[in-house]
């Protein structure tokens, strides 16, 4: 069973338990988290995704849905992309899966997908660390989504401030 931000009973049923309803009202969970959790619960019975993957957060960014996961991402993609395609059909939007708690460059590359990320550097500005993400300028045309939405997604992935530079 996929590890989800909501309990199995909430994922299987129509209503949320009081604990998760309260988390939803406080903003600790979003409607997208609940929707994607229920979709993954349903697909787990069919595709046997397993418990090696954990959905941490699901964020609707307008032009696509960002899934932040830990663990074996390949289980969410599935053989030939079958699981990802099923998720995409049920959500009704493109889906981008990003593995967190690994190398920051890999997480950023998962998001940018079509465009090549040359590197991710860290710069000290006063008391803050600012991450610089270097992307090839000629790959701008290969960005999978609107740049504004990618920037919003980066704010969930990068710990702190960041600057994207096209070189």
Condensed to tens digits (0 to 9), the pLDDT of residues 17-55 reads 999 999 999 999 999 999 999 999 999 988 888 889 999
Condensed to tens digits (0 to 9), the pLDDT of residues 115-143 reads 999 999 999 888 888 999 999 999 989 98
Domain residues of the chain, as ranges?
Answer: 1-100, 102-167
Residues recorded for the chain: 167
Q: Considering the entire predicted model, what is its pTM?
A: 0.91
What's the whole-number average pLDDT of the chain? 92
102-167 belongs to which CATH class? alpha beta
Q: Which CATH architecture does the domain made up of 1-100 adopt?
A: 2-Layer Sandwich (3.30)
Contacts of 69 (CB under 8 A, 6+ apart): 53, 54, 55, 56, 76, 97, 98, 99, 100
In this prediction, residue 20 carries a pLDDT of 92
Contact 110/99 with Cβ under 8 angstroms? yes
């Amino acid at each position: 069973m996929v590890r989800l931000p909501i309990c199995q009973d909430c994922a299987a049923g129509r209503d949320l338990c009081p604990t998760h309803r309260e988390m939803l009202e406080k903003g600790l969970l979003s409607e997208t988290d609940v929707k994607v959790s229920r979709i993954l619960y349903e697909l787990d019975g069919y595709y046997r995704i397993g418990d090696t993957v954990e959905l941490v957060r699901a964020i609707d960014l307008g032009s696509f849905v960002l899934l932040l996961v830990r663990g074996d991402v390949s289980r969410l993609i599935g053989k030939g992309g079958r699981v990802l395609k099923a998720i995409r059909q049920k959500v009704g939007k493109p889906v981008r899966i990003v593995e967190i708690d690994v190398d920051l460059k890999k997480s950023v590359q998962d998001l940018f997908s079509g465009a090549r990320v040359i590197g991710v550097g860290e710069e000290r500005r006063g008391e803050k660390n600012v991450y610089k993400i270097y992307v090839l300028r000629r790959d701008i045309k290969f960005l999978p989504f609107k740049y504004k939405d990618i920037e919003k997604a980066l704010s969930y992935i990068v710990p702190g401030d960041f600057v994207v530079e096209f070189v």
